[in-house]
């Protein structure tokens, strides 16, 4: 082993140890300050991303193992530690590989979103198996909380001009929908977290003078036509489950529909942003138009329609321009 190789090996080992400690510190902060848990989830993959990018996957896995052991020492709940590492650590390894191999931003964000959604479902399943907590239990707990809140409001005289029974039924219907879509809500949160993590990792690597792939403008985002199959599958499972009283099938279908609709609404926003920039109007009129779109109740439906249509007909002709280039 020559001196250069020895120095590189020593440096990579020291950096791996430092990043393992940093990963453990970030996780511990999230455990002891729960309000920062989302920020913890965003930041946790970053040290592993840097290790994999600079020193390879083997060093990244070793750093992950060391940080996991440190967390088990620093925090007394191994199940919580394991769940956190399963949900966020693999994303750091994946990001490091994606940046190291110069994978395009679109493919990288898609891969990170899929992996984050998959890991979220793994955590949900493991939690249900280990604790016995199901969606029905969550709904029951939320109903109990609503009943207690209503009693408090009633004793405080805050429900004098409100039909208490109607209000209670409305809240219970809302809670039922939330309990059904809870996996989908967690999935959307995980996807958004992974996108933010990707952008932060890209910014950090760029700041350290590493070469990173260009990031397309949000207004130029596109989806392939086969992404629409998510809507078809979600709708089919929902109809099948409701028709034949297959509760699990219906819940899976509704969650796929929910996640797909949110994603296609984002695509609709991308399309609208593209043309919003091109409208030859005074900034004041554009601001008024934006405010109207925010308060108009049918805006989400319109955005969803645009997002669904764009993969089929390429409204902005972006893919056509790419093929010509």
pLDDT tens digits for 84-126?
A: 898 889 999 999 999 999 998 888 988 998 898 888 888 878 8
Write the pLDDT tens digit of every residue in 211-249: 888 888 888 888 888 899 999 999 999 999 988 888 889
Three-class DSSP category at 217:
coil
CA dist., res. 119 & res. 194, Å (int): 11
Percent of the chain past pLDDT 90, that is, above it, reads 32
Closest residue by Cα to residue 264 from 228, 313, 318: 228
Tell me: pLDDT of 127 over 70: yes
CA dist., res. 183 & res. 114, Å (int): 14
Closest residue by Cα to residue 80 from 126, 112, 23, 16: 126
CA dist., res. 325 & res. 323, Å (int): 5
Tell me: pLDDT of 147 over 50: yes
Closest residue by Cα to residue 221 from 86, 109, 127: 109
pLDDT at 3: 46
Q: Which helix (H) or strand (E) holds 247?
A: helix 247-278
């Amino acid at each position: 082993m020559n001196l250069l190789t020895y120095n590189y090996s020593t440096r990579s080992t020291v950096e791996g140890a430092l990043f393992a400690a940093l990963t453990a510190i970030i996780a511990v902060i999230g455990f002891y300050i729960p309000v920062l848990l989302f920020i913890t989830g965003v930041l946790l993959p970053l040290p592993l991303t840097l290790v994999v990018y600079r020193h390879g996957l083997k060093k990244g896995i070793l750093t992950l193992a060391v940080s996991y052991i440190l967390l088990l020492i620093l925090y007394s709940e191994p199940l919580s530690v394991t769940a956190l590492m399963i949900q966020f650590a693999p994303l750091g390894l994946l990001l490091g590989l994606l940046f190291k191999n110069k994978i395009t931003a679109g493919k990288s964000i898609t891969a990170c979103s899929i992996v984050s959604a998959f890991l979220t479902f793994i955590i949900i399943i493991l939690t249900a198996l280990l604790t016995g907590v199901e969606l029905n239990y969550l709904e029951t707990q939320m109903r109990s909380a609503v009943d207690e809140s209503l009693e408090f409001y009633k004793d405080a005289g805050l429900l004098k001009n409100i039909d208490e029974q109607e209000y209670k039924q409305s809240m219970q219907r809302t809670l039922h929908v939330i309990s059904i879509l809870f996996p989908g809500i967690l999935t959307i949160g995980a996807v958004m977290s992974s996108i933010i993590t990707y952008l932060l990792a890209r910014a950090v690597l760029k700041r350290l003078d590493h070469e990173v792939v260009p990031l397309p403008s949000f207004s130029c985002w596109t989806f392939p036509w086969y992404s629409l199959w998510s809507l078809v599958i979600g709708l089919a499972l929902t109809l099948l489950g409701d028709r034949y009283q297959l509760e699990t099938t219906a819940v899976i279908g509704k969650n796929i529909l929910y996640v797909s609709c949110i994603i296609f609404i984002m695509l609709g926003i991308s399309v609208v942003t593209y043309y919003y920039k091109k409208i030859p109007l005074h900034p004041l009129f554009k601001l008024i138009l934006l405010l109207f779109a925010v308060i108009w109740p049918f805006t989400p439906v319109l955005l969803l329609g645009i997002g669904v249509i764009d993969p089929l007909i390429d409204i902005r002709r972006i893919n056509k321009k790419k093929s010509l280039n």
